[in-house]
């Protein structure tokens, strides 16, 4: 049964464009890989409506106090870990707001844990370990669209009332849609069809690139919708290293129109909050007044600056 399932997947098919890649020169090998990669963005472009729908449910979850939970195995799981780990330093989120679970646990980020992806029960246990609740959104990531660990997680999440998302690079056929449907909760399927990999079955390649693009869009668009940017500038970054401290000063200088010493002073007074520093400068107000104004508009700098 599994043999037939895998044989039917587009991501397991032989790519006719690279059948002689082992005979090619080094330059031609990388040219072949580049040519295949160039098709990925177009595939993702065909599922923008589904990505936007996913962003809307993630934001709705955040606004109710819920979390975004990525769950996957192998490369897909690692991509979820990467995306989740970037949210606190980039957008100042709490560490639990966007989380990632990977089959085999944290050690599987660095070393493959064989067999873990085959257990739906392990996925349920992983979700229970973070006290999954109905306000959360669970996003499963699986190139094949059939990984038992991921499907088990989505089925369990649906039964407790969570909204769910499935990211796959194979079509979501009717049996899969039926298996994941639960009462009125219909999952959002995001399936950019990237076709056969340049190295047969190596879904860390085009599939991984497509998944990374989709995750970037979901998390970034959600953060924009949560007021984590002003224009296209990240104004909720955490000043956790020297690079980010200097970036924060540049942002304040640019948005507030002040010089370096004044930007440094504003950030010191605002306890490192770029948002507060910008509002303080623009409205010539105290740190307390700026914070109150931001709080009244749910942290949106543009709204805080407009009466």
CB within 8 A of 271, min separation 6: which ones?
287
Q: Please say whether the beta carbons of 123 and 133 come within 8 A.
A: no
What φ, ψ does residue 60 adopt, rounded to 5°? -60, -40
* Domains assigned to the chain: 10-225 (3.40.50.10490), 229-305 (1.10.8.1080)
pLDDT truncated to tens, each residue of the chain (307 aa)? 554 555 568 888 999 999 999 999 999 999 999 999 999 999 999 999 999 999 999 999 999 999 999 999 999 999 999 999 999 999 999 999 999 999 999 888 988 877 789 899 999 999 999 999 999 999 999 999 999 999 999 999 999 999 999 999 999 887 788 888 776 678 999 999 999 999 999 999 999 999 999 999 999 999 999 999 999 999 999 898 999 999 999 999 999 999 999 999 999 999 999 999 999 999 999 999 999 999 999 999 999 998 6
Helices (H) and strands (E) in the chain, counts: 14, 7
Active-site option among 36, 50, 117, 197: 117
Q: Please report the pLDDT score of residue 180 as a whole number.
A: 83
Q: Which helix (H) or strand (E) holds 137?
A: strand 137-141
List 86, 114, 178, 197, catalytic entry: 86
What is the distance between the alpha carbons of residues 266 and 143, in angstroms, rounded to a whole number?
Answer: 47
User: Residue-wise over 118-157: b if at least 16 C-beta within 10 A, else e?
Assistant: ebbebbbebbeeeebeebbbbbbbbbbbbbbbbbbbbbbb
Cβ pair 225, 55 in contact under 8 A: yes
| Residue 242 annotated in active site | no
Strand order in the sheet with 98-102: 98-102, 68-72, 137-141, 163-167, 188-190
Torsion, CA 23, CA 26, CA 27, CA 32, rounded to 10: 60
- Is residue 197 part of the annotated active site? The answer reads no
How far apart CA 204 and CA 209 sit, in angstroms, is 7
The pLDDT assigned to 2 comes to: 52
Predicted local confidence at residue 184, as pLDDT: 65
What are the percentages of helix, strand and coil residues in the chain, rounded to 5?
A: 55, 10, 35
- Whole-angstrom CA distances from 94 to 98, 165, 230, 307 are 8, 22, 19, 29
Q: Which two tokens stand for residue 130?
A: 């973070």
């Amino acid at each position: 049964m599994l043999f037939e399932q895998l044989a039917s997947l587009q991501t397991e098919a032989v790519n006719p464009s690279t059948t002689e890649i082992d005979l090619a020169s080094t330059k031609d090998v990388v040219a072949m890989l580049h040519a295949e990669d160039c098709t990925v963005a177009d595939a993702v472009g065909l599922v923008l409506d589904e990505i936007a729908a996913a962003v809307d449910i993630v934001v709705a979850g955040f606004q109710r106090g819920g979390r975004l939970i990525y769950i996957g195995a192998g490369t897909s799981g690692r991509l979820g870990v990467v995306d989740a780990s970037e949210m606190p330093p980039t957008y100042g989120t709490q560490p639990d707001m966007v989380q990632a679970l990977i089959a085999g646990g944290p050690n599987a980020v660095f070393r493959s844990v064989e067999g873990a992806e085959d257990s739906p029960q392990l996925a349920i246990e992983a979700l229970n370990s973070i006290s999954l609740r109905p306000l959360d959104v669970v996003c499963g990531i699986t190139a094949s669209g059939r990984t038992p660990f991921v499907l088990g997680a989505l089925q369990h999440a649906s039964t407790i009332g969570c909204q769910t998302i499935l990211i796959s690079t194979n079509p979501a056929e009717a049996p899969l849609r039926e298996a994941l449907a639960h009462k009125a909760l219909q999952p959002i399927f995001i399936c950019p069809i990237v076709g056969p990999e340049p190295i047969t079955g190596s879904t860390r390649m085009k599939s991984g690139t497509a998944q990374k693009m989709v995750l970037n869009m979901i998390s970034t668009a959600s953060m924009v919708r949560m007021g984590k940017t002003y224009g296209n500038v990240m104004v909720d970054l955490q000043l956790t290293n020297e690079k980010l401290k200097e970036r924060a000063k540049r942002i304040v200088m640019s948005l507030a129109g002040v010089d370096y010493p004044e930007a440094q002073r504003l950030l010191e007074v605002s306890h490192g909050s770029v948002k507060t520093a910008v509002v303080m400068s623009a409205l010539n107000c105290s740190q307390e007044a700026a914070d109150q104004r931001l709080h009244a508009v749910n942290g949106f700098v543009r709204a805080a600056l407009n009466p």
